[in-house]
Structure 1
Amino acid sequence: MLKEHLIQIDKNLCIGCGQCIKDCPANNIALINKKAHTKQQQCIKCGHCTAICPKKAVSMTGFNEPPIEFKEKTTVDSQQLMQALKTRRTIRQFKDQPISDEIIRQIIEAGRLTPTGSNAQDVSYIVLKDNLKDFERIAVRLFKRLLPVIKLINKTAREVPIDDDFFFKKAPAVILVISKSQINGALAASNMVLMAESHDLGVLYSGFFAMAVKYSSKLRKQLQLKHGKVITALVLGYPNVKYHRTAQKEEATIHYF
């Protein structure tokens, strides 16, 4: 995490119910004289203690937003979600239609709210819109030089021409998901795709552009990418294609013990 966060317990509000103690994954809270006390400040700052306290006695400093009160956890209709997963497709044909900044913010918010290992919150984002073609040109030049090697290791690349729109397919926006952790970045990206599709957007995971950033010092310099790596590039736009049926999938391999 980028900022320092301190756990504070208001002894006047604490009723000693022990809920925060039971739910703390770091076992960092103890009951002393019927009041909750933190053992140390070096925990993962997951926020379970603030979320579970019935009296709002536990708080955490250093955040720009307060916790949101709710009575019931919001759930998604399971049948609608399953149908959405069945009918989703990777999109490579986009309309010439811009995406609003508000929708981009909501997509990134879905990534920000995704849980991370040890609550690291180590995922960041780069949005490419106005200068998107500049970055694509650099990547295209790199891939054309590397084409003989790429064709050896990637069968798909043998048949796909590397043209000026090879990476972004004329999409209006791209969000780069940056993290040191492959898992944390991938989890955030998955939630971001669901949010994007809820706005009727199509999404292409551009692993090729992530590869281009890895091997291009010029791209990393242009992106001001000093720490972390591009886990994936989410190419976003309104689909200019309509599918009429689901794609068939192999059955899941499951082992029960």
Structure 2
Amino acid sequence: MIIASRALEMYNPSMKFEIDPQICTNCGICISECPSKTIRREKDSARIMSEGCIECSHCGMVCPVNAVRVDGKELPGYPEDVTQLTTEELQDHLMLSKRSVRHYKSAPINKEDLKSIIKIGETTATATNSQYCDALLFHGPEVPVLAADLARILLKVVRIGQNPLGRLLLKAGGLGRYAKKEVITGFYQLLKQTVDGKADPLFHRAPTVVVLTYPAKRGKRFGRTDCALAGENMMLSAHARGIGSCMIGFAESALYSKKHRAKIGIPEDRKIGLIFTLGYPDKKYSRYPVRESWDINLSD
């Protein structure tokens, strides 16, 4: 496949992301897009701070002048005209260009598109044909209310990380990237602003939030997997319609108790399998991401 080979040839197990200062216009788009906040604006150009970079490729995908380099190479660009692609190439393009969108336009999602996306989730194959998945949707003004409720819960958790012992516990639990004092302090302030309706680090001001659930007892073995499958199909269907999405782990973490889940309308006998946002992206993506290779030997 032309699309697959052009993008996949960039994938390698050791990547270094840099911004070419000779090309960069210092517009700041990559800074606002970076989810790990590891890009800094300097005198003449932006610079990626290697420590903390999660190698997501978002900076290179949104850069209007293609200034980002990975191991000295440009990111592979999208085809100029996707209408000229074969069916197989178009499928590759759909899969490879799907991103976790964290900046949305305020416009609500077209109702017919949303119905189609939901139908894709409903018809996703499930383990043993159990069909345990169910969905709960939040729209428009319901989203900031939900964000504020979850922010209040998370503020109690984040306070733990504001002392050295708490940060040590986070590191011991495999959450080292969240254990830095400045990261915790910044997130704590954002959560306080979310309660006041001035920020939304959880749902990124998306117009729609989808919560997929499964029965706590009957779905114990495959419920979460079934929700993940349905959610991925729904997000790919949304992407094909020009609608962005992003899985929200922090929101799921906040709803760890039956009491918290019940408050947002989830029955006591159900658990959360996946939470994700839906909305029209306010950034244009022009290139494919790069990822670490799985290093699979396919030789005879």
Q: Could you say whether these structures have the same fold, taking a TM-score greater than 0.5 normalized by the shorter chain as the test?
A: yes
Q: Mapping of 1:72-91 within 5 angstroms?
A: 77-91=87-101
Q: 1:242 aligns with which of 284, 287, 290?
A: 284
Is 1:161 the counterpart of 2:172? The answer is no
- Residue 231 of structure 2 is matched in structure 1 by 189
- Kindly indicate which of the two structures has a greater share of residues assigned to helix: 2
The 8 Å contact of residues 205 and 235 in structure 1, kept in 2 or not, is answered as yes
Looking at structure 2, the residues matched to 216 and 143 of structure 1 have their Cα atoms a distance apart, in angstroms, of 15
DSSP 3-state at the match of 2:255: helix
Q: Mapping of 1:91-102 within 5 angstroms?
A: 91-102=101-112
Q: Mapping of 1:101-116 within 5 angstroms?
A: 101-116=111-126
**Over aligned residues, Cα RMSD in angstroms?**
2.2
Looking at structure 2, the residues matched to 239 and 125 of structure 1 have their Cα atoms a distance apart, in angstroms, of 23
DSSP 3-state at the match of 1:248: coil
Q: Kindly report structure 1 stretches of 4+ aligned residues shifted beyond 6 Å.
A: none
| TM-score for the superposition, normalised by structure 2 | 0.56
1:156 Cα offset (Å): 4.3
Change (3 A) 1:241 1:155: farther
State the structure with more CA Rg: 1
- Residue 145 of structure 1 is matched in structure 2 by 156
- Residue 7 of structure 2 is matched in structure 1 by none
The 8 Å contact of residues 138 and 219 in structure 1, kept in 2 or not, is answered as no
Looking at structure 1, the residues matched to 265 and 295 of structure 2 have their Cα atoms a distance apart, in angstroms, of 40
Looking at structure 2, the residues matched to 91 and 214 of structure 1 have their Cα atoms a distance apart, in angstroms, of 24
Q: 2:246 aligns with which of 164, 182, 204?
A: 204
The 8 Å contact of residues 90 and 202 in structure 1, kept in 2 or not, is answered as yes
DSSP 3-state at the match of 2:286: coil
Identity of aligned residues (%): 23
The 8 Å contact of residues 139 and 219 in structure 1, kept in 2 or not, is answered as no
- Residue 178 of structure 1 is matched in structure 2 by 213
- Residue 61 of structure 2 is matched in structure 1 by none
DSSP 3-state at the match of 1:225: coil
Aligned residues: 182
Q: 1:132 aligns with which of 126, 138, 143?
A: 143
Change (3 A) 1:187 1:244: same
Looking at structure 1, the residues matched to 132 and 257 of structure 2 have their Cα atoms a distance apart, in angstroms, of 22
1:245 Cα offset (Å): 2.0
DSSP 3-state at the match of 2:153: helix
The residue identity in structure 1 corresponding to 2:154 is F
- Residue 52 of structure 1 is matched in structure 2 by none
1:253 Cα offset (Å): 3.8
| TM-score for the superposition, normalised by structure 1 | 0.65
Looking at structure 1, the residues matched to 284 and 258 of structure 2 have their Cα atoms a distance apart, in angstroms, of 35
Gapped runs of 5+ residues in structure 2? 1-85, 162-166, 195-199
DSSP 3-state at the match of 1:203: strand
- Residue 118 of structure 1 is matched in structure 2 by 128
Q: Which has the higher contact order (CA 8 A, sep 6+)?
A: 2
